[in-house]
Amino acid sequence: MCGIVGYVGAKPAEAVVIEGLRRLEYRGYDSAGIALVDGGAIVSDKRAGKLANLEKAIADSPLPQVTTGIGHTRWATHGPPTDRNAHPHLGRARRVALVHNGIIENFAELRGRLESEGVEMASDTDTEVAAHLLEEQLETGVDLTVAMQNVCRGLEGAFTLVAVDSQDPDRVVAARRNSPLVVGIGEGENFLGSDVAAFIEHTREAMELDQDQVVTITREGVSVSGFDGTPAEGRRYHVDWDLSAAEKDGHDWFMRKEIFEQPRALADSLLGRRGTDGLLQLDEMRLSDQDLRDIDKIIIIAAGTSFYAGMVAKYAIEHWCRIPVEVELASEFRYRDPILTASTLVVAISQSGETADTLQAIRHARVQRSKVLAICNTNGSTIPRESDGVIYTHAGPEIGVASTKGFLTQLVACYLLALYLAQVKGTRFGDEISQVMDQLEEMPGHVETVLAKAEEVYALARDHVDNRSVLFLGRHAGYPVALEGALKLKEIAYLHAEGFAAGELKHGPIALVEEGLPILCVVPPRGRDQLHDKMISGIQEVRARGARTLCLAEEGDTTITPYADVLITLPQVPVLLQPIVAVVPLQLFACELATQLGHDVDQPRNLAKSVTVE
């Protein structure tokens, strides 16, 4: 989710690029940089921290007033947020400057080959590899466009690459595979950006690219080709949004935009997790296989939405690994004198990596000699730094306070941890692990299917604007989904909402049921431990007392039809993976209901994105 800007024209490139980066600050970042082409040389500056740090450096050491340049704001993935890891990255001869959004999956193999040939790496990033490969291609005599085509054919993963060549000062070349890139078309000038906010002050004429395409911009025009060199055409369109809407990709709220980004976020969170031998590889783990084999108990600590991801993780880890798992609110953990040993693994889940309760909890665990593994979205944040290992979720920045794609990618990280433990401990065969990984890799497409039904969910939300209370029911892995759905409604719609395990209805909550009360029911897939039949029994109980049952059930489940006042179908997925698809309609429901009620969806009252006090 890095910010990218490219420019060729008549204006001073520095001003255009810096202003474009400022327009992209909403995406979140931890460093910024710029590269300009000046008289056969690359002139570059880059700084960790906010854009203001880069601007101060440029003010102290001004850059030349030239008309071709690229810029970048980085959200760290490979290597911490430091000056040396900030983009742009240069080739060995400083002929090429390159910026990158995404993850190059096979970078380790490519980096090894380059280092064996004597190339000294100046950073920890996967990006620098692409810069060296581009320069290598240029030395054969091809131009930057052909060099980009050749390099991209050898890259695996999801990426946007944007590069300049010091020997070709009137051209910027970019490539796209499963990562955002849009072209801005002007008069005597052209632009590249992660989204249209990068250039909307200059032009509202834009071009969209397909996957696996290379685009070349000059002052005179724009040309598009496939990675194989075949000519192609982009799709031109007019941007009629204002800047605020442009930042949100045309959506009214960042939260809604982030809900629709979830297929991409899920795909990013799965990138690079399987090696060429088919085995799972978690590069940031840092705990040895023997450390993990010695684990005889896991305690998951988290808060809010992350806590519900941990509840799902308990189901997955215990089922696949046969290790007992406790899930604990981080704020309560160290105050109950928990039993911890050297063979206890404490898993801390935090989107920001700065959650105060969770940070204090892991410090307590480490004093007790337990191993600590972080699941986090923010590279270089405190919790990963103070843990023995980390699984980064790669969700990209999340601006809306109520977490959406952060939650889904935490689920993926939890599943990956469970499968990795099963692999190390030998509690599942390799083909069983591969089968689940195959199912996980189908999830982005399944979420796309759910999002295609958004209007159904919006209509449902509009039908319930006058309700002041909503209940959520689930069983097994659907129970944390019910809790998360209720939390979303509390956070942004300010309504009374409660999530329950459906089997608990008769033990008290059924007293809340009255005529017309909406109850959202997460129906388990059929065929597992009578869960489905038990859930239907619970739905019958509340419907008999006048509740309005709004049911989420897998496609083809006709047995639920007689008991559902409203039925929203979900793709057919295994029980343990259903939370990924089942929570999406609940996110949409909360977002639309809050919108209809006139609330600020992105900045709900009394809440902060990162809770940094206990």
The catalytic residue positions are 2, 609
User: Residue 327, class by beta-carbon neighbours within 10 Å (0-12 exposed, 13-18 middle, 19+ buried)?
Assistant: buried
Closest to 252 measured CA to CA, from 602, 607, 612: 602
Handedness of CA 191, 195, 198, 199 (dihedral sign): positive
Cβ atoms 236, 25 nearer than 8 A: no
Structural tokens at position 89: 């990255």
Closest to 457 measured CA to CA, from 600, 582, 308, 306: 582
DSSP string, 332-361: HHGGG-----TTEEEEEEESSS--HHHHHH
Q: How far apart are CA 386 and CA 373, in angstroms?
A: 9
> In the block, which residue shows the tokens 């519900």?
308
Closest to 448 measured CA to CA, from 570, 330, 351, 340: 570
Residues sharing a CB contact under 8 Å with residue 488, sequence separation 6 or more, in sequence order = 402, 586, 587, 589, 590, 591
Q: How far apart are CA 137 and CA 159, in angstroms?
A: 19
Q: How far apart are CA 509 and CA 59, in angstroms?
A: 63
State how far the alpha carbon of 510 is from the alpha carbons of 148, 514, 540, in Å: 63, 9, 12
Parallel, antiparallel, or unpaired for β 205-208 and 31-38? Answer: unpaired
Structural tokens at position 530: 């009578």
Report the length, in residues, of the chain: 614
Cβ atoms 73, 2 nearer than 8 A: yes
Q: How many CB atoms lie within 10 A of CB 65?
A: 12
Strand, helix or coil at 146? Answer: helix
State how far the alpha carbon of 136 is from the alpha carbons of 160, 163, 354, 405, 555, in Å: 19, 14, 41, 38, 51
DSSP string, 175-199: EEESS--EEEE-SS-EEEESSGGGT
> In the block, which residue shows the tokens 């206890």?
344
Structural tokens at position 454: 């958004």
In sequence order, the β-bridge partners of residue 280 are 274
Structural tokens at position 13: 């490139």
